[in-house]
Amino acid sequence: MANVTIDSGVCGEETRVTTTKLEDYNVKIEIESSCPHIQKLAQELDEVEAFNEISFRRGMPEILQKGTEYCTHAACPVPVGIVKAVEVAAGLALPKDVTIQIET
């Protein structure tokens, strides 16, 4: 299981992702978000196969595809945060925070 909280930045939206490993490398995804766009994404994304999500070698990952459909901002960190939660829940990555630090 992995729990991830994503603060999307200046938009002020917050998303909470809970992922749970099922059989093989299937992962259940639960998403709660203050963002109406991510809420729509969450309605269509409930379970994925982790190996399909962590590489571009098998085509566009479903999570990122849904991100392009529903996120209005290309730099939205939520789809990538969901991918990170999936790979940790599946045991394909160690739990480590990811940071984007912006300096001007």
Structural domain that includes position 32: 2-89
Kindly list the averaged pLDDT for each block of 10 residues, start to end, along the chain of length 104: 95 97 97 97 97 93 96 94 98 95 92
Specify the amino acid at residue 49.
E
CATH, residue 59: 3.90.1010
Q: Quick check: is 77 in a domain?
A: yes
Q: Quick check: is 96 in a domain?
A: no
54-76: burial string, b at 16+ Cβ within 10 Å, e else: beeeeeebbbbebbeebbeeeeb
Predicted pLDDT at 58: 87
Tokens 């529903």 sit at which residue?
70
Q: Quick check: is 102 in a domain?
A: no
Q: Quick check: is 10 in a domain?
A: yes
CA distance 2 to 13: 20
Domain count, the chain: 1
Q: Quick check: is 54 in a domain?
A: yes
